[in-house]
Structure 1
């Protein structure tokens, strides 16, 4: 972290000096930053898009020495623990952030924050969902395996039961790349250099890409026998998608082929054939956009025997032809 920026973030402001004396929260938001109608309906303070009047992303250091009351917001928010620790209650769940932790709060999530000490530096990064290109996010999701999606759904169901998940906690203390990206975002914002808004938006996409790539799902120790079987099958698809068949898996796990087919469709929500096809298409897309290999070679590499079938399915999935995907990717750099 740039020493000048770190010094700025560590220096007490006037509100903190007063809060340090009496430990009572002092409202820092102007009236037009609070949605009075939603606040009245939900009986908690709801922050609106006031922060984005002149910029796409708003960053601040959380004021210390007094507890921040329960509130919600109409935008997405990252809470980054730059230094020290902080305790929050997010939709009734207690979460303790330690140095390097990054908490993503969805629109509508409610949370309160316990009083921070002098050496606790919590950074708020606020952004609207339209700051992240929708196609960019779709492509991230498509690049994840169906196994990842299945495990994510299982972990959410286990932790949240019937409730919608409103936050994700990323333990990034040992991820040097993540900390460098966040430091760069914070430095660009507070140093107010030329083109900083454009650079911050680009860094935000890079940050989210790395978080998605490195996110580790919490271990679910309550997996049923069926879940374990589906996870094993999906793992096989990830490893051997080029040549895998349901017949081979039925033989390997000693199950009737039709039983496996029906169970897979019920638990995953897609047929085994569709999942294998998706894996082949997404792997082809990765090779098309990240290498200069001829498309015909890529088609063979991912296990397609019919080129016409590949082109039809690729277009149906990505809404563009393979070479157009490669060209669009090249134009980004």
Structure 2
């Protein structure tokens, strides 16, 4: 019964999917402003109208441009496969894979087809986390530490963990029961969804794919505003400027960022720039010169090198792939 209900609900075409299948492009149904904010934050108000835990389906037949969230998200691959870029790192999800993502990461999803069903499970705020801790207070593992880290404001949020549930029948049943509860939108569903989610978290500790843990228990309060400053000013920021603004030695700050994030200062800026450039190509009619100006490059050759380094393609080839010829 569960499989039949889920198959019926999840493979049914949504209005957005119908438009995307017909247009072969992405429908900006949230009216996000990609020109003034090339990597927009998803609006919380669109998701949590029925409770603190939301379940949605990723709309098929298109890519999902780079974006961020102010909430914790789990993606569950119910059927098929999909490729995502999490903070610029390529992650491919197969059936029964689940990825747990912290707030503020940059997420992109490549185009999915008719057989690729990706489910989003969203956790609204810190009070949701506190309720989960009430259920799972007796357990301490990578996942509970992840959630504890995510629930604190003065913490660097750049973490994700990937799970393979293929041989974890109990975990599969829990996540799919959680999806059913979320889809029914019953007024009494919130407590049962919290119980299901807390039980799922306990089960997940057996299913961590060690090579895909990207989790830093970082509680250096001083780094958070620095990361936020870099993300907001990626078009013009330099390590020297950031060091001066926050009163750090340049070499010390560079090493501190590398230790906390696993990336150099330049890599952090590069990944922000390439995500912004991709979104501008996908969602706007900006010329190549306009895009360079917006993301902080003085010439197109810098953008060319950026795309070749991280995407193994050129800006023009990327633009043709996702929507059509790029104006120079």
TM-score normalised per structure 1: 0.53
Which residue number corresponds to residue 105 of structure 2?
A: 109
- d(CA) in 2 for partners of 1:168, 1:217: 9
Q: In structure 1, what is the equivalent of residue 199 of structure 2?
A: 206
- CA RMSD in angstroms comes to 3.0
Report runs of 4+ in structure 1 exceeding 6 Å deviation: 39-42
TM-score (norm 2): 0.54
Equivalent residues in 2 for 1:115-264 (5 A)?
Answer: 115-128=111-124, 129-133=126-130, 135-136=133-134, 139=137, 143-144=140-141, 165-193=158-186, 195-215=188-208, 217-218=210-211
In 2, Cα distance between equivalents of 1:48 and 1:93: 24
Where does residue 23 of structure 2 map in the other structure? 22
More helix by share: 1
SS at match of 1:59: strand
Which secondary structure does the structure 2 equivalent of 1:109 belong to? coil
Tell me which residue corresponds to 1:287.
none
Verify the 8 A CA contact 2:164 2:207 in the aligned structure 1.
Answer: no
Q: Which has the higher contact order (CA 8 A, sep 6+)?
A: 2
Distance in 2 (CA, whole Å) between partners of 1:55 and 1:199 is: 12
Is 1:43 aligned with 2:47?
no
Residues 214/171 of structure 1: CA separation in 2 closer, same or farther (3 Å cut): closer
Greater C-alpha Rg: 1
Provide the C-alpha distance between the structure 2 equivalents of 1:63 and 1:203, rounded to a whole number of angstroms: 25
The Cα shift of 1:105 comes to 1.1
Instruction: State the 1:16 CA deviation.
Output: 1.1
CA contact (8 A) 2:161 2:212 kept: no
Q: How far did residue 26 of structure 1 move?
A: 0.3
User: In 2, are the aligned partners of 1:5 and 1:190 still within 8 Å (CA)?
Assistant: no
Aligned length: 199
Structure 1 unaligned segments of length 5 or more: list them: 154-162, 221-333
Q: Deviations over 1:243-283 (max 9, x none)?
A: xxxxxxxxxxxxxxxxxxxxxxxxxxxxxxxxxxxxxxxxx
Change (3 A) 1:22 1:179: same
